[in-house]
Chain A
Amino acid sequence: MRIPCPCCGWRDRREFTYYGHETFLHRPAPDAGAEAWDDYLHNRENPAGPTRDLWYHDPCGSWVVVARDTVTHAVAGGEGLA
């Protein structure tokens, strides 16, 4: 599997650390309430198909949102967070 890094281009999967769904980028307000925080931290659509998830390119320190398919493992592309 090869993942696109915004700094380094397409690199082997073994250079990356996976975090989870891009949900993690959408941090609720501190006082958003228990449900919102439960959804943010735990509950997931967990799609069987296209998804967008977070990968960290260890050599350069870039976080990447990768557009991927969880069934075929096809990687459509990726973009940095900034």
Chain B
Amino acid sequence: MSGGWRIPGRGAEIDRARPLRFRFDGRDMEGFAGDTLASALMAAGVRVVGRSFKYHRPRGVMTAGAEEPNALVEVIEGPQQTPNVRATVQELYGGLQARSQNRWPGLSFDALAVNDFLHPFLGAGFYYKTFMWPRQFWERVYEPLIRRAAGLGSLSGRADEGEYEKAYAFCDLLVIGAGPAGLMAALRAGRAGADVILAEADTQLGGRLLADLPEIGGQGARDWLAGVRAELAALPNVRVMTRTTVTGAHDGGTYGALERVGLHLADPGDLPRECFWRIVAKRAVMATGALERPIAHPGNDRPGVMLAGAIPAYVNRWGVAPGRRVVIFGNNDSALSAARALTAAGIEVAACVDPRPEAAVLEEFPVYRAAQVVGTRGRMGLHTVQVRHAGGLSEVQADVLGLSGGWNPTLHLACHMNGRPQWDDRIAGFVPREGMVRGLTAAGAAAGRFSTSQCLDDGARAAGEALAAMDMAAPEVTPPAAEDAPYGIAPFWAVDARGRAWLDFANDVTTKDVAQAALEGFASVEHMKRYTTQGMAPDQGKNSNTAALAVLADATGQSIPETGTTTFRPPFVPVSIAALGAGARGKGFAPERRLTSDAQTRAMGAPMIEAGLWYRPSYFPRAGETTWRESCDREVTMVRGAVGVCDVSTLGKIDVQGPDAGRYLDFLYTGRMSSLKPGRIRYGLMLREDGHVMDDGTCARLGEGHFLVTTTTAAAGQVMRHMDFVQQGFCADWALRFASVTEHWAQFALAGPKARDLLNTLLDQPVSAESLPFMACQPVSMAGVRGRLFRISFSGALGYEVAVPARYGAALFARLVEGAEALGGGAYGMEALNVMRIEKGFITHAEIDGRVTAFDLGMQRMVSAAKDCIGKPASERPGLMEDGRGQLVGLRPVDPSDAIDAGAPLYTAEAPARAASWQGHVTSAGYSPTLQGWLALGFLAGGRARHGEVVRIHDALRGRKLMARVCDPVFLDPEGRAMRG
């Protein structure tokens, strides 16, 4: 190790033959294939990689995993960037560009580091006590300043164009983590023939074995791993997923997992960046290992202060030395092991500081017993460690300080279903309880069993139990022999000395903050957490929660178990919104439903609007028309004077058959359908059981035991579900069946005085006014294609709806439009349809908005007094039948030049436009070229008795005021002559 930071002969995971160029903060650097960004930065001698959240203190790499609190960077890809990337997880690729974040103007000089000097005034909860005066200053001054100072990395502001995927997987056993315990579990279950998924967050199998390289079964760890890897690869029933972090445990054995598919590649090609997996497993083994925890001592956040166990990881995995002289400060035996490993790698261990009086002393490096680190020096990089020991205070020169306060089992997944772990004095940490997540068993270090040998045994045990629970044979396995040293630990959390000692590095929470929270009464763990923000940073307290709990326990004079634990929530590691929302960008969010006439409609230039996921034409512009109103007026006039064609296939169609069909429909509809004669159609209302109108539509009796129910476009799904409920819940033994046939039929409305003429050009057997009267239906054929003909009208004009199997829809639409145009008509869209139904006072979901009753609509007479139906009892509640309720009325401007907007409120002519005098509102409005003026429908309090009254429409939102006269909601042809003609 001369000059550089790489260690010859170490670093099994890097390929020194494949150097990779990358860039950090504008500086070009070089690493090797196999490096993480953190190891490559370390090898390049970069010590400061980020600034802390609140005090903007310089920070260096602290861990070798996803729990990293400090080394969060932005990864740049052209104009796009990904914030808050853990340098410890990001694999190096050629051309990788990264940038430090949360600093201005730069990493080495950050203006906001002034916060560090102001720290006495920026303690826990300071912002709740100030910034209150003057009031307007919060939004205008304080908050913008706070927002700019806060936050970590930046989004680019550009749409994320990256590819992401979601996938499902199913298995018998999900093994989470491929350390010694997980590998043994996967091996045993795999050999037993179970479907196994082995999910490993790291780039390769091995877990802690990769960092510690213990001997296993007389082999080196890497050799043993190679054998296991080969065996697992040869088992067809085992699926090994690396770079895959299980992020959440959910109900029914469902686990979320994030696979980093292309994030490590310079050119991912067609690969997605990430894939979010939903894994459904009968059983799961949580072999997630343990996370080391730091010790809170003054100055423990300097660049160069790391977790002790991370140092051998950098040395052995990536062949890089985090420093040249290391001090280890730990309260447990793993710290000593780390120190020995470093010595073996040729790194000088300047001292090992152990607070335990009984710590071993016979080592190749100085060991301070009953000693503590009480301070550090080196703002941009550690250079001195102050040690307090029996002999006094020593200053030790060191550029790395490795901390080990013990290990916390990585039990987060087990807590995702509200289970609380239990305190285990043996390891001074929380361990999972059995059954916290049904079907999930912890094994190895995740269960608090830390030696390699224990892990191997425990993985085999857990797999055996899981197999037994699935009634699968579990052949015995003999785990190989391995290190089985006892784990000695004396709880030690925070050093009692002057100066700030950090608990939560990522959120800049110190022991003083926790003590202050307790002083102010925020002494329950949830209060402390929320008051100090402890554990709420990107690492979610993985590095700090247990120590913070201990400091709080100390401040309140309670034990740690009495103080409690916080709840871990999914996800275990942060997951990008893009991965969880994969596929939804742009049009992917919801299905697009297209009419059979869609292509021709678009070819005709019709703008499309959305209705119940369908696309429907708004209007069909013709040459010379410059506004939608011109087209709409022309289409209305066309229908009223000649003929128009409109695709109405989006209406829900439910085919009901059976001897009891009529009886069933009587129970569904307010009116009677059983008395309908075959070949006839009746308009019907369906209520919700709470008495309000659910939907309206027609019901045609196609034969003795055969009905066709139509629904509105929007309510088709709801009505089908409702019909299934009523049938299965209340009349399951009645003889009937029904099915939705909405998509099976293409259906077109022909409307206007020439509708029959148009129709008869297509029918093999022409119809006459008498042969098919209004509200009748019959089978027809057109060029031999069998269809259905309904004489109904939603426009009030002479009207038919003709239905053919969907595969003939496009052809029929073309013929109809062509025929209509020849007769002086043409296609019409939703705008014209809407105007015409307003002219006739026909309702849509603008009126039946879920809050209205048949009584409100003036349709009480449609609720048969002679029978029960769904919704009838509740509709008779007194409050739903009161005259003061909003009742459907028509409205016309007193001044014919005035226009009306839907959504406008109604007031009495003299009353002010105040909520207290609100009388109702406009539901639908449109310009009627037929009646040469604006027409509107609306609900007006007691409106049926107010026809003739002039009311005020005061649309404050759109600045429109006018007077309107209340009238009957049917504006045109109230006797219905046109449609009956």
Given known pairs A24-B729, A25-B729, A41-B690, the reply for A61 and B724 (CB within 8 Å) is yes
Residues of A within 8 Å of B868, CB to CB, are 30
**A30–B871 CA distance with the chains assembled, in angstroms:** 9
B877 at interface by CB-CB < 8 Å: yes
Q: Which residue of A lies closest to B877 (CB)?
A: A34
User: By the criterion CB–CB under 8 Å, are A73 and B874 in contact?
Assistant: no
Residues of B within 8 Å of A63, CB to CB, are 724-725, 728-729
A80 at interface by CB-CB < 8 Å: yes
A76 at interface by CB-CB < 8 Å: no
Given known pairs A63-B729, A81-B728, the reply for A56 and B721 (CB within 8 Å) is yes
B-side binding surface: helix, strand, loop or mixed?
Answer: helix
Question: Interface 1/0s, chain B 278-296, versus A by CB < 8 A?
Answer: 0010000000000000000
Residues of A within 8 Å of B873, CB to CB, are 28, 30-32, 37
Residues of B within 8 Å of A37, CB to CB, are 873-874, 877
**A61–B713 CA distance with the chains assembled, in angstroms:** 19
Residues of A within 8 Å of B102, CB to CB, are none
Given known pairs A1-B254, A28-B873, A30-B872, the reply for A80 and B725 (CB within 8 Å) is no
Q: Which residue of A lies closest to B725 (CB)?
A: A63
Residues of A within 8 Å of B252, CB to CB, are 1-2, 10, 13, 73, 75
Taking a contact as CB atoms closer than 8 A, the residue among B250, B689, B720, B732 that contacts A41 in the complex is B689
B253 at interface by CB-CB < 8 Å: yes
Given known pairs A2-B253, A17-B721, A56-B721, the reply for A41 and B728 (CB within 8 Å) is no
User: By the criterion CB–CB under 8 Å, are B280 and A2 in contact?
Assistant: yes
B229 at interface by CB-CB < 8 Å: no
Tell me the minimal C-beta distance from A79 to chain B in angstroms.
Answer: 11
Contacts of A4-39 to chain B: CB distance below 8 A: 10, 12-13, 17, 19, 24-25, 27-28, 30-32, 34, 37
Question: Interface 1/0s, chain B 247-286, versus A by CB < 8 A?
Answer: 0001111100000000000000000000000001000000
**A61–B417 CA distance with the chains assembled, in angstroms:** 31
**A13–B486 CA distance with the chains assembled, in angstroms:** 46
**A13–B267 CA distance with the chains assembled, in angstroms:** 37
**A25–B724 CA distance with the chains assembled, in angstroms:** 13
Given known pairs A1-B251, A1-B254, A75-B252, the reply for A41 and B874 (CB within 8 Å) is yes
**A32–B874 CA distance with the chains assembled, in angstroms:** 11
Contacts of B426-448 to chain A: CB distance below 8 A: 438
Residues of B within 8 Å of A74, CB to CB, are 251, 438
A48 at interface by CB-CB < 8 Å: no
A51 at interface by CB-CB < 8 Å: no
Given known pairs A37-B874, A56-B725, the reply for A82 and B732 (CB within 8 Å) is yes
Residues of B within 8 Å of A81, CB to CB, are 728-729, 732
Taking a contact as CB atoms closer than 8 A, the residue among B720, B728, B877 that contacts A80 in the complex is B728
B730 at interface by CB-CB < 8 Å: yes
**A41–B731 CA distance with the chains assembled, in angstroms:** 19
Question: Interface 1/0s, chain B 19-37, versus A by CB < 8 A?
Answer: 0000000000000000000
Contacts of A64-82 to chain B: CB distance below 8 A: 72-75, 80-82
Tell me the minimal C-beta distance from B716 to chain A in angstroms.
Answer: 13
Taking a contact as CB atoms closer than 8 A, the residue among B725, B872, B877 that contacts A19 in the complex is B725
Tell me the minimal C-beta distance from A43 to chain B in angstroms.
Answer: 13
Residues of A within 8 Å of B690, CB to CB, are 41
Contacts of B206-259 to chain A: CB distance below 8 A: 250-254
User: By the criterion CB–CB under 8 Å, are A1 and B724 in contact?
Assistant: no
User: By the criterion CB–CB under 8 Å, are A27 and B253 in contact?
Assistant: no
Q: Which residue of A lies closest to B873 (CB)?
A: A30
Residues of B within 8 Å of A73, CB to CB, are 251-252, 417
Given known pairs A17-B721, A34-B877, A74-B438, the reply for A2 and B254 (CB within 8 Å) is yes
User: By the criterion CB–CB under 8 Å, are B250 and A1 in contact?
Assistant: yes
Question: Interface 1/0s, chain B 700-741, versus A by CB < 8 A?
Answer: 000000000000000000001100110011101100000000
User: By the criterion CB–CB under 8 Å, are B730 and A27 in contact?
Assistant: yes
Contacts of B899-937 to chain A: CB distance below 8 A: none
Tell me the minimal C-beta distance from A2 to chain B in angstroms.
Answer: 4
Residues of A within 8 Å of B728, CB to CB, are 62-63, 80-82
**A40–B724 CA distance with the chains assembled, in angstroms:** 19
Residues of B within 8 Å of A25, CB to CB, are 729
Residues of B within 8 Å of A2, CB to CB, are 251-254, 280
Q: Which residue of B lies closest to A68 (CB)?
A: B251
User: Top 6 A-B pairs ranked by shortest CB distance?
Assistant: A2-B252, A1-B251, A82-B732, A81-B728, A73-B251, A30-B868
If A1-B254, A58-B721, A62-B724 are given as contacts, then 20 extra A-B residue pairs at C-beta distance below 8 Å, sorted by A number, are: A1-B250, A1-B251, A2-B251, A2-B280, A12-B254, A13-B252, A27-B689, A30-B872, A30-B873, A32-B873, A34-B877, A37-B873, A62-B728, A63-B724, A63-B729, A73-B252, A74-B251, A75-B252, A82-B728, A82-B732
- Residues of chain A having any CB pair with chain B under 8 Å: 1-2, 10, 12-13, 17, 19, 24-25, 27-28, 30-32, 34, 37, 41, 54, 56, 58, 61-63, 72-75, 80-82
- Residues of chain B having any CB pair with chain A under 8 Å: 250-254, 280, 417, 438, 689-690, 720-721, 724-725, 728-730, 732-733, 868, 872-874, 877
A and B contact pairs by CB, cutoff 8 A, 25 listed: A1-B250, A2-B252, A2-B253, A10-B252, A12-B280, A17-B721, A24-B725, A24-B729, A27-B689, A27-B729, A30-B872, A37-B873, A37-B874, A56-B724, A56-B725, A58-B721, A63-B724, A63-B729, A72-B417, A73-B251, A74-B251, A75-B252, A81-B728, A81-B732, A82-B728
